[in-house]
Amino acid sequence: MEQFKIPIGRGIEAVINFFVDHFSFATKAFAGVTENGINLLVSAMMFFPPWALILIFTAISWLLTRNRGITIFTMAGMALIWNLGLWDPTVSTIALVIIATLFSIMIGVPLGIFAALNGVFYRIVMPVLDLMQTMPAFVYLIPAIPFFGLGPVAAIFATVIFSMPPAIRLTCLGIKQVPQELVEAADAFGSTKWQKLFKLQLPISAPTMMAGVNQTIMLALSMVVIAAMIGARGLGGEVWRAIQRLEADRGFEAGLGIVIVAIILDRIMQKLGSRAKKQ
Amino acid sequence: MTHKIVVDNVYKIFGPHPDKALKLIDQGHTNEQIMQKTGSAVGVAGVSFTVDEGEILVVMGLSGSGKSTLVRCINRLIEPTVGKVEVDGVDVTQLSTVELMRFRQKHFGMVFQNFALFPHRTVLQNVAYGLEIQKVDPGAMRERSMQALTQVGLKGWEDSYPAQLSGGMQQRVGLARALALDADIMLMDEAFSALDPLIRRDMQDELLELQERVKKTIVFISHDLDEAIKIGDRIVLMKDGRVVQVGTAEEILTNPANDYVARFVEEVDMSKVMTAESVMVKPSALAYFKSDGPRAALRKMQKAGISSIFVRRDGKIIGMVTADDAAKAIKDNARDLQSILITDIQTVRPATPAIELFPILAGINYPLAVLDDNDHLLGVIIKGSLLAGLAEGLQTGGNS
Ligand SMILES: Nc1ncnc2c1ncn2[C@@H]1O[C@H](COP(=O)(O)OP(=O)(O)OP(=O)(O)O)[C@@H](O)[C@H]1O
Ligand SMILES: [Mg+2]
């Protein structure tokens, strides 16, 4: 049986090589944008002393959620991270998550819209998303390396691929969930496709899209941690180093930092989602 | 005379084999057989009718009879499989996508059964939607939307969201949204069916009142004959995607085209639609003021077996005399009917609804005269004939 192994792996490898050889201009452009983005964001955040940044985050959290519990947790959690000496890796993790999420949304939302409006594309993209979401996260690390080498850009690339499916899926779902009668009403008054999209479909699907963005952020965070293996720094890097040196205490503390960041992001996004729904 | 809307032999087949289904329709197969043979559903089959400018045409039929499909074929929310729809002489089915959009903006306002208001927009923004689509400038847009809101009595609610309004108010917003456009045709798909009965009646009255002012051409879908009778200038009755009868309410009620229509009509409360004219009977005798004295009048009453008689002079009913009074007058040697004439009698017009006749009849012990505008006697109504007329109306569908 194994003598005639079907060359799936080889095929994928050939495709990757093809892209590496012929699309280096694209990978270089992506690398440039990403690297600059990360550097800019990190140095912007590092410009403030930790206590100032904590206050800023706390204020943002209050403005977005108007929820005392979440705001206090944000302040206390960040203070604990600072106290544990995890400030720098946390800042770089947050920067990676923000950049990766932005990419995922920028690519995922238009794809989701397109899938909702185009039946053929929908039938193609859905199985691909299923495949992408069941594939173990580590696998995405491998093609990232030939494109970008070890480092944060490769990590962002793998993270974007891994975290994009919910953005596509839930955008598409949200638009398809807009009641047929409302779409009919928009049509009956002579709306163009774009008017229908911007005046009806996107506003109504906003809460669902928000849920998608939330999932994307959570996936991005988990992937950024895993991507430490290919040179992403940050909290994941701390855990990775602790594993290699068998430092249980360091590893646990860094893990705690990740949990705190995850909870803060998740709660803020959930509040935003439910606020969007209420409107 | 040209019609505002001409629906010409329109078919809509849903499903995989429209051609086969069309052939089977021609051969006279039922929708069920066609569904079994081809897997296609017949929405509308060979429908033709016209709507005149300023007319309210009600399309009526049971659930699944193709009403919604038909009304959507008019503005092509549903693409007709075969057939032509003309509005102002323009064949809507031939318009390109862009032309169709413009055409809808210009000609069609639509009101939906479940309101279909945009939940994320305020009342005013909902009403303004059609104008916003047409890129009307904000000042004019606001003014026209407010005007439409005022027309439906919702001034002061412009900043609320639809979810904050009651069902009746929501549908007023739906109505205002269609009115704000200044389109000349309103398509209303069961616009009042989701409202509870009292509010529904109010809305019907308001629509009629509004129509007096705005004079739109309205195609109104309903599954309720009472509603159709009330607001329709004419009614199109549908069954299984086909038209069974077109006509005024009166025509359909008194002359049902077939059993199906007759059964539909039975459901209407006959006493509401029947009038004095349809339950009156011919008077069995009349006294003439100029030639008849008390003796002649009494004799006429005795012959007809009645106890009172209407008196006519110069073609007009001027009163009546009773048999008792006539007998007394004979004893007193009276020559004419003047002394015993009762002029204070109850009369009604032919269009008086039958339901209003009951209380009048209960208060008098002589027949009720039905007079036209010149006081000519058209017929009389006695208690027995009213009930009989209603009973007969119920059996035959109003033809008495
Ligand atoms: N999109 C569709 N696909 C398949 N069949 C359809 C579709 N829309 C309508 N039909 C069929 O066409 C027929 C007419 O439906 P339609 O909705 O026009 O009826 P209706 O008179 O408006 O009924 P109701 O009073 O329930 O609204 C029905 O048999 C229905 O099953
Ligand atoms: Mg319907």
Which domain does A70 fall in, by range? Answer: 9-278
pLDDT score for B362: 78
What is chain A's length? 279
Please check whether residue A180 lies inside any domain of the structure.
yes
Contact by Cβ (8 Å): B394, B287:
no
> Which sign, positive or negative, has the C-alpha torsion B269, B273, B275, B281?
negative
pTM reported for the whole predicted model: 0.75
pLDDT value of residue A279? 61
Secondary structure of chain A in the HEC alphabet? CHHHCCCHHHHHHHHHHHHHHHCHHHHHHHHHHHHHHHHHHHHHHHHCCHHHHHHHHHHHHHHHHCCHHHHHHHHHHHHHHHHCCCHHHHHHHHHHHHHHHHHHHHHHHHHHHHHHHCHHHHHHHHHHHHHHHHCCHHHHHHHHHHHHCCCHHHHHHHHHHHHHHHHHHHHHHHHHCCCHHHHHHHHHCCCCHHHHHHHHHHHHHHHHHHHHHHHHHHHHHHHHHHHHHHCCCCHHHHHHHHHHHCCHHHHHHHHHHHHHHHHHHHHHHHHHHHHHHHC
User: Are the C-beta atoms of B356 and B334 separated by less than 8 Å?
Assistant: no
A191 touches chain B (CB under 8 A): yes
Q: Which residue type occupies B105?
A: Q
For residue A28, give both structure tokens.
Answer: 């270089």
pLDDT at A271: 86
Cβ-Cβ contacts under 8 Å, A182 against chain B: 116, 118
User: How far apart, in whole angstroms, are the C-alpha atoms of residue A75 and residue A61?
Assistant: 9
Query: What pLDDT is stored for residue B399 in this prediction?
Result: 39
Interval A24-40 mean pLDDT: 86
Please state the atom number of ligand 1 nearest to the C-alpha of residue B221: 22
CB spacing of B105 vs A279 below 8 angstroms: no
Q: Is residue A25 part of a domain?
A: yes
A contacts of B110 (beta carbons < 8 Å): 185, 188-189
Q: What pLDDT, on a 0 to 100 scale, did the predictor assign at position B305?
A: 84
Reduced to 3 states (helix: H, G, I; strand: E, B; else coil), residue B329 is: helix
CATH of the domain at A40: 1.10.3720.10
In short, whether B43's Cβ falls inside 6 Å of ligand 1 is: yes
- The answer, for A189 touching chain B at a CB cutoff of 8 Å, is yes
> Is the CB of residue B64 less than 8 Å from the CB of residue B238?
no
Average pLDDT of chain B to the nearest whole number:
87
Strand partners, B25: none
Chain B: residue whose CA lies nearest to A279: B120
Residue type at B373?
Answer: D
Nearest-CA residue for ligand 1 atom 27 is B63
Tally of domains in chain A: 1
The CATH number of the structural domain formed by B277-390 is 3.10.580.10
Most A-contacting residue of B100, B120, B164, B185 (CB-CB within 10 A), to test interface:
B120
**d(Cα B360, Cα B366) in Å, to the nearest integer?**
11
Mean pLDDT on A71-88:
94
What span, in angstroms and rounded, lies between the C-alpha atoms of B95 and B90?
9
Q: A188 and B120 in contact by Cβ < 8 A?
A: no
- Which amino acid would we find at residue B15? G
Residue A3 inside a domain? The answer is: no
If phi over 0 gives left and psi between -120 and 50 gives alpha, with beta otherwise, what is residue B33?
A: alpha
Contacts of B103 in chain A (CB under 8 A): 190
Measured distance CA(A131)–CA(A143) in Å, rounded: 16
pLDDT above 50 (res B400): no
Per-residue pLDDT tens over the stretch B111-158: 999 999 999 999 999 999 999 999 999 999 999 999 999 988 899 999
- Cβ contacts of A189 on chain B, cutoff 8 Å: 104-105, 109-110, 129-130, 133, 177, 181
- Cβ-defined contact of B77 to A184 (cutoff 8 Å): yes
User: Cα–Cα distance between B310 and B287 in angstroms, integer?
Assistant: 6
Whether ligand 1 lies within 6 angstroms of the CB of B11 is answered as: no
Dihedrals φ, ψ of B224, to 5°?
-120, 115
Q: Which helix (H) or strand (E) element contains residue B51?
A: strand B41-51
Spell out the residues 6+ positions from residue B140 whose beta carbon is closer than 8 angstroms to its own. Answer: B131
Token pair, residue B196, equals 């509870």
Q: Is A198's Cβ below 8 Å from some Cβ in B?
A: no
Give residue B288 CA to ligand 1 midpoint distance, Å. 63
* Closest CA in chain A for residue B180: A189
Distance B201 CA to ligand 1 centre (A): 26
- Residue among B311, B225, B239 nearest B267 (CA): B225
**Nearest to A154, CA basis, from A162, A111, A213:** A162
Q: Which of B68, B97, B101, B115 to mutate to test the interface with A (most CBs of A within 10 A)?
A: B101
Nearest CB to A189 within list B114, B120, B133 = B133
- pLDDT confidence of residue B7: 95
Q: What is the CA radius of gyration of chain B?
A: 28
* Segment B248-290, tens digit of pLDDT: 887 887 778 888 788 777 766 665 667 788 778 888 888 898 8
> Residue B104 and residue A200: Cβ atoms within 8 Å?
no
B223 Cβ inside 6 Å of ligand 1? yes
State the pLDDT at residue B398. 39
Could you tell me which chain B residue has the CA closest to the CA of A202? B120
Residues of chain B within CATH 3.10.580.10 domain(s) are: 277-390
Half-sphere exposure in the Cβ direction for A66 (13 Å, CA):
3
Instruction: Encode pLDDT of A151-170 as tens digits.
Output: 888 899 999 999 999 999 99
Residue limits of CATH 3.40.50.300 in chain B = 5-123+184-274
Per-range mean pLDDT, top range of B277-281, B309-313, B384-388: B309-313
Q: What is the B190 CA–ligand 2 centroid distance (Å)? A: 7
CB contact under 8 A, A190 and B103: yes
As a whole number of Å, the end-to-end CA separation of chain A is: 60
The answer as to whether A184 is a domain residue is: yes
Phi, psi of A126 (to 5 degrees): -65, -50
Question: Which amino acid does the sequence have at A173?
Answer: L
Most distant CA pair in chain A, distance: 67
Which residue in chain A has the smallest CA separation from B113?
A181
Residue linked to tokens 């893990």: A255
Domain B5-123+184-274, CATH: 3.40.50.300
Q: Which of A201, A212, A206, A128 is nearest to A167 (CA)?
A: A212
Q: Tens digit of pLDDT for each residue in B150-194?
A: 988 899 999 999 999 998 899 999 999 999 988 999 999 999 988
Whether A237 and A150 have beta carbons less than 8 Å apart is answered as no
Identify whether A107 is part of a domain: yes
Which atom of ligand 1 is the closest one to the Cα of B43? 12
pLDDT at B69 over 50: yes
Say yes or no for a CB contact (<8 Å) between A189 and B104.
Answer: yes
**In terms of pLDDT, which residue wins out, B384 or A22?**
A22
Are A82 and A58 in contact by the 8 Å Cβ rule? The answer is no
Contact B130, B174 (CB under 8 A): no
Q: Higher model confidence: residue B351 or residue B220?
A: B220
Residue of B260, B238, B244 lying closest to B71 (CA atoms): B238
Domain annotation covers residue A153: yes
Using a CB–CB cutoff of 8 Å, tell me whether A209 touches chain B: no
**Which band of pLDDT confidence, cut at 50, 70 and 90, is reported for residue B389?**
low
The top-scoring range by mean pLDDT among A7-11, B12-16, B252-256 is B12-16
* A277 and B CB contact within 8 Å: no
Tell me what pLDDT residue B285 has: 86
C-alpha distances in angstroms, B264 versus B70, B227, B261?
Answer: 20, 13, 5
